[in-house]
Structure 1
Amino acid sequence: MTEVVLALVAGFLVAALGTPVGVSGAVFLLPLQASLLGVSGPAISATNLVFNAMSTPLALLRAVDVRARSSELVIVAAACVPAAVIGAYGRVTLFADPARFRILVIAVLAPLGIQLLVRAFRGPRAKDTGESPVVRAVPLALLALVTGAVGGTIGIGGGSMLAPVLVAVAHQTVQRAAPLALTSTLATSISGLIAYSLFDAFHIGTPPAAPVWHIGIATGLGGIAGALLGAAVARRAGERVLTLLLGTSATATAVSYLLQVSH
């Protein structure tokens, strides 16, 4: 019972803080699962995907509007299905070793934390109301495949990595990148959950691989409530404060993982 309550609170907090600045809270659940919630092995990644699968649809429905290109959404979703299977297989085999998994998490968390800190100190950019260029199908599919595979391995989906690349490299506005990133996260999470469950059932790779469902569902329910509160939190605390807080948390978590690897 205590684990469920902790999971609810954890999911609520990471979603409430992450949603307003466009960052998946799943990445911040990784250390909490191992230290507070008693989840271990590849099941950590799989349980994180339960959080994403539950908390992402609401955000996706709010992000997708008439400006979203349906063809791009389909390409991203289609690429993320095999990407999630590849990522899940990598997690139960190559990255089942805790040291290797920590290195992968550091490689994702450190750039994310630095990016958020830079954004916080630089301040918000002027809103871009221009028309984003069309992203070509093959580059978009390859990008979604790579980010989806890494996201499926760690258990964060692919959106947290896909969105910054779309904005910086493909010159998409944040409004255009958001539905693509959320589509990547949702498709990766659902496909990854199926893959992890099948790998566990057929004893492929290192166990445990199946998600700890009661923990994942609790974090997901907390995440839904936290996402709803996120907009109000942003208005009161300000996007810059939240961005600074998340950037500091991501960087500090990356440093703690780095210290574990060095020892």
Structure 2
Amino acid sequence: MFFPTAGIEVNPFIPFVVAFVVSFFMSMGGISGAFLLLPFQMSFLGYINPSVSATNHLYNVVAIPSGVIRFIQEKRMVWPLTWIVVIGTLPGVLLGAIIRIKWLPDAASFKPFAGFVLLYIGGRLVLDLLRPQKAGQVKAEEAFRNLVKNFKETAQNQDVSSLQVVTVISKGLSKIEYEFYGERFSFSTKGVFFLCFVVGMVGGTYGIGGGAIMAPFLVSFFGLPIYTIAGATLMGTFITSFAGVGFYMLIAPYYPNLSVSPDFALGILLGVGGMCGMYCGARMQKHVPAKLLKWALAIVITFTALSYLSVLFH
């Protein structure tokens, strides 16, 4: 099948399967997997036009809702955190799109940038895994997994969505606090907002909504359980990616010599594969140890980053 905007020809089954596998595992960590699909499109499929970033955003728009719906059903959405992520990252994503078109239009300049972004994400995760985890995080995550296990054993015909998982205690401009299985967690509203703006700018340049960068920060720096931040980062990625697709299409006429608008056929194909994988991943997340999820993310991210940065030494 030929994809005209991308300028590539590939069996449509390949993008679908790759998107399914990537999104299945990455969604468990609150990440859509778009940051890995961009290297796949550039290095494996040969899609190196700037519009690959817009196509990556389109993948998020199609793929993410299934995972978000599952997290909502299981009552694991921390809504105050979700809206801060959305409001903070949105303007950053739009600025990132301009940076991508004006200063990083070709693969030679974009790959090192992408490599440094991925290396930073992987480094943050590794540091988090090597340092002692906060006691509250460990207790809450273990309590949740044990409850899910016991619930499944004693209530075969019921669904985990009937459990009340997250309870918001307070919300304000200075601090937000919520409870997750006997443990209370809080974070600075302004701190998360500022971080989201910076993350959104980097994510918009790369072609992701920013969840891949936000998730490690929320887990390691703010000490929030990965089981409670996944839904928020995915929702933020969805909304900002939706805006990113629209913005790339809006500015495309001003760059007639560049391929800026997304390849809709490829983006939707990737998105459908991601949609299926993300829903399955969201269902499986609660059965997988949080530490295993983090190590898997760290290894894949770091390997991809080093492969991109290797171009600097050739």
TM, length-normalised to structure 2? 0.72
User: Does the C-alpha gap of structure 1 residues 47 and 243 become closer, same or farther in structure 2, counting only changes over 3 Å?
Assistant: same
Q: Does 1:96 align with 2:96?
A: no
Q: CA deviation at 1:175?
A: 3.6
Deviations 1:194-241 (A, max 9, x none): 11111212327x711111111110110000111233257768987766
Which residue is 2:267 aligned to? 216
| 2:21 is the counterpart of 1:21 | no
1:132 maps to 2:140: no
* Match status 1:79 vs 2:91: no
1:55 alignment partner in structure 2? 63
Aligned pair in 2 of structure 1 residues 63, 112: CA closer, same or farther (>3 Å)?
A: same
Matched, 1:11 2:19: yes
Residue 50 of structure 2, aligned match among 17, 42, 67? 42
Q: CA deviation at 1:193?
A: 0.5
Instruction: Find the counterpart in structure 2 of residue 168 from structure 1.
Output: 220
Q: Is contact 2:90-2:243 (8 Å) kept? A: yes
Partner of 2:186, secondary structure, is coil
Give, as a single letter, the amino acid of the residue that structure 1 aligns with 2:107: P
May I ask how many residue pairs the two structures share in their alignment?
261
CA positional deviation for 1:120: 7.3
Give aligned-pair identity as a percent: 31
**Structure 1 residues 236 and 121, CA gap change in structure 2 (3 angstroms):** farther
Say yes or no: does 1:225 pair with 2:276.
Answer: yes
| Structure with the greater alpha carbon radius of gyration | 2
Question: RMSD of aligned C-alpha atoms?
Answer: 3.0
- Describe the shift of the 1:241–1:175 C-alpha distance in structure 2 as closer, same or farther (beyond 3 A): closer
Cα deviations by residue, 1:163-202 (Å, 9 ceiling, x for unpaired): 2212222333324422331232112201111111112123
Change in CA separation of 1:178 and 1:244 when aligned onto 2, cut-off 3 Å: closer
Structure 1 unaligned regions, length at least 5: none
Instruction: Letter of the 1:83 partner, please give it.
Output: G
1:36-93 Cα offsets, whole Å, 9 max, x none, are: 3342221111111111111112222233466645444333322322212101001101
Contact 1:52 1:189 in 2 (8 A): yes
Over 3 Å counting, the alpha-carbon distance change for 1:119 and 1:226 in structure 2 is farther
Question: Mean alpha-carbon deviation: is it higher for 152-161 or for 36-45?
Answer: 36-45
Question: Which protein has the bigger strand share?
Answer: 2
SS of residue paired to 1:132: strand
1:4–1:239: structure 2 CA closer, same or farther, 3 Å change rule?
farther
Q: Is there any run of 5+ residues in structure 2 with no aligned partner, and where?
A: 2-9, 141-180
Cα distance between partner residues in 2 of 1:244 and 1:67: 22
Describe the shift of the 1:62–1:229 C-alpha distance in structure 2 as closer, same or farther (beyond 3 A).
closer
Asked whether 1:253 is paired with 2:307, we answer: no
8 A Cα contact 2:50 2:100, kept in partner: yes
Kept in 1: contact 2:209–2:240 (CA 8 A): yes
Match of 2:195 in 1: 143
